[in-house]
Amino acid sequence: MIRNTRLAAFGALATALAGGVLAQDKPFPTHTITIVVPFPPGSNTDLIPRLLAPLVSQSLHVPVVVDNRPGASGSIGAAFVAKAEPSGHTLLMAGTTVLAGNQWLYKNLPYDPEKDFAPITNAAYTPNVWIANPDFPAKSIADLVALARSKPGSISYASGGSGTSMHLCGESLKRAAGIDLVHVPYKGPAPAQQDVLSGQVPVMCNNFSSALALIRSGRLRGLAVTAKVRSPLAPEIPTAAEAGFREEFGGWFGFVAPAKTPRDVIVRLNAEFTKALRSGKAVERLEGLGLVIVADSPEHFAKNIAEESALVRKLVQDYGIKAE
């Protein structure tokens, strides 16, 4: 009886182990994929995954949902994903601030952008554009500089948070023009731009793609594009360089997974997201907003993050930027 009991127990254990092996061997994905956005709804960081989620869901045959977890310049959402199970079912949509900027601004960052993530693909890029509330008297970047010189410290500019491309853009202009603008950081680009719309803050250097529709409608005024050439989507807006300020700032938006996510899962996710990005629906929507689709390999994206991190580090040191 003892022997039979032991055999039965061994059989049950073997069955459980076999079941575990089978469960582990099930092809990815096995359940819902969650894309964490570390900023509030309304920005490109939020728009891109919401556009791609139904396309990827249809291809992978599992639900793909977007979860906004804003706060601390993207650190809250990033830390959540960094600690998630590395199975490919919890991903992060992030950009310059989260993956290449925060580590140079915060001493006790709750995640390590260099060690905690596995790059999947850089989805898209956009230049920045200086925008102003229509009631603000400046009609060009030269006007803004002239006003700031006449009233030092009286003009504020909004940004999506410390260390963002919007913040770096503002600090760059301050130093290039020798003016004193007051930085007003927000928890994301969307609430910052909303306050420019309402007139709470007069100007902002925001992502071109986020501001384009509002510029076209006349609700915002475009002062200058921070790119080498004018955008064909708004050719009437000059570049900052045309006014003598060689600013080239923009934002990129990519997908990463927790570190130690299996290589085959990263490859599968890269294939699915790049396919979705190149679909007719995504191309029409994203390019219509002024975004440049990248859809690169994990290796190329990793290189881009490293290069951007080195650039932001230099700018933070040169400009003496601190977290606010």
CA torsion, points 47, 159, 213, 249, in degrees to nearest 10? -90
Domains 33-123+250-319 and 127-243 are alike in CATH topology: yes
Q: What's residue 40's pLDDT?
A: 87
pLDDT at 179: 96
Per-residue confidence in pLDDT tens, the chain, 324 aa: 444 444 444 344 344 334 444 444 679 999 999 999 999 898 889 999 999 999 999 999 999 999 999 988 899 999 999 999 999 999 999 988 899 999 998 888 999 999 999 999 999 999 999 999 999 999 999 999 999 999 999 999 999 888 888 999 999 999 999 999 999 999 888 999 999 999 999 999 999 999 999 999 999 999 999 999 999 999 999 999 999 998 889 989 999 999 999 999 999 999 999 999 999 999 999 998 889 999 999 999 999 999 999 999 998 898 888 776
Q: Does domain 127-243 have CATH number 3.30.565.10?
A: no
Q: How much helix, strand and coil, in percent to the nearest 5, is found in the chain?
A: 45, 20, 35
- pTM, two decimals, is 0.82
**Any residues with CB less than 8 A from the CB of 231 and at least 6 apart, and which?**
127, 208, 225, 237, 290
Q: Are 226 and 129 in contact, with CB atoms under 8 Å apart?
A: yes
Between CA 237 and CA 10 the distance in angstroms is 75
Domain extents in the chain? 33-123+250-319, 127-243
Contact (Cβ atoms closer than 8 angstroms) between residue 191 and residue 212: no
Fold of 33-123+250-319: D-Maltodextrin-Binding Protein; domain 2 (3.40.190)
